[in-house]
Amino acid sequence: MNGDKLPLLRPMLAVSAAPFDSAGHIFEVKWDGYRCLAYLEGGATVLWSRNGINLTSRFPELSWLHTRVKQTPAVLDGEIVVFENGKPSFAGLQSRGRMNDLKRIGRSSSECPAVFISFDLLYAGGKSLLELAIEKRKEVLADIVEPGDEICVSQFINGSGREFFKACVAQGLEGAVAKKLGSVYLPGRRSAYWQKFRHTREVELVVCGYQPQSSGRRLGSLVLGGYREGELVYQGKVGSGIGERESEALLEGLRKLENSKETLTIPREERRRTKFVRPLLVCSIEYLTATGEGYLRHPVYKGIRWDKNPAECHAVEE
């Protein structure tokens, strides 16, 4: 590259799909972590999130990845993962990611270390591999990475996507990803070359309030709660999955249920925007997991459950 610095890229993204079998795809674990591009150049490691945030200082135990890779300058695509009891813990990762105090970060890097799990290679030896087929990039990746406590290479299989997905779910993993053989790497783009199979769960929760959009004329999100020991506890918000007609009908009904009293305790930053309602409506929610605080991750609204009694809606535990 004639001494030029590596270009700052954004990771390629997958589309959602139902599990399938295909001789024309490879299948690998969908790791539950922080998506990250690791830049290894100039005798240093820099970790960039998918949104362009520098994560290096949050995970000092990963600052020596460049010593584990033979051909630098290089850019590796992967996930930063924290394990608890042998399984990825997103709650543990979030706890690490929120830390700012250097002493706490240093202590946590020893007590609860992160691992960089690499599954793709964008540059090696300063040369672009973006136009190489996925299987060729993975060959080079496996050849140049020396696995250790702080880095490993994600393994994959061919063909049997459905069984692989079932095995991932049985192990308590988030899901799987299918990647088309022969496909190139498309930085910053969401492409059907990569298809993710996610293991989702479903729960019924109580609508405890809502947040209108900034215009005030449309519904932004529903505030959700579940009962624990007779008290409603906050489980997060949901806006995804609510269609335009459903939004209009919900907003009309919720305005009639508005309550001046707080239905449940919510984070301070949410109070100003929230309009509380009497806890009479139940909705069905699809979600991935719950955070350490008990908030749903990636919730999707599936509809109102008129047949459900709010008292039957129990809070989701992590």
H runs (alpha helix) in the chain: 90-97, 102-111, 134-144, 161-170, 244-256, 268-271
CA quadruple 202, 312, 205, 92: dihedral, nearest 10: -70
Task: Answer whether 241's CB lies under 8 Å from 283's CB.
Answer: no
**Angle formed by the axes of helices 102-111 and 90-97, nearest 10°:** 150
Task: Answer whether 275's CB lies under 8 Å from 219's CB.
Answer: no
Task: Answer whether 285's CB lies under 8 Å from 302's CB.
Answer: yes
- Chain mean position to CA 90: 8
Is 30 catalytic? The answer is: yes
Going by C-alpha positions, the residue among 63, 48, 68 that lies closest to residue 106 is 63
Distance between CA 241 and CA 178 in Å, rounded? 24
Tokens of 277: 């309602």
Residue from 5, 30, 70, 179 carrying the catalytic annotation: 30
Distance between CA 204 and CA 224 in Å, rounded? 10
Distance between CA 281 and CA 210 in Å, rounded? 12
Residue found by looking up tokens 């959700």 in the block: 224
Distance between CA 85 and CA 115 in Å, rounded? 14
Active site (catalytic) residues: 30
